Amino acid sequence: MTYKTKGTCASAIDIELDGNVIKSVAFTGGCNGNLKGISSLVVGMNAEDAISRLKGIRCGFKATSCPDQLACALEEMLQK
């Protein structure tokens, strides 16, 4: 699934799940090193666990962040 982010420097997140387990995550744009690190950390994690850890994280004065947008994308995927 490709999720179009809202309110972040990254413009999209490509996510692949195997059941409820995160198989791969790749951000388009944003802070390259940090987002590669987040992507690497969540691979193999249960989507619900990642959501609970990432949801609500803010970037500076923004109402959201790339990790928060990843949580939103995962929630959307699980609802389908």
- Residue 57 belongs to domain with CATH number: 3.30.390
55-73 pLDDT, tens per residue?
999 999 999 999 999 999 9
Q: How many domains are contained in the chain?
A: 1
Retrieve residue 11's tokens.
């413009």
Cβ count within 10 A of residue 80: 5
pLDDT-flagged residues of the chain (< 50): none
Q: Looking at residue 46, what DSSP letter applies?
A: B
- Tell me, what's the pLDDT at 80? 85
Look up the pTM and report it. Answer: 0.96
> What are the structure tokens assigned to 37, written together?
């690190």
pLDDT of residue 29: 97
Range of the domain at 70: 2-79
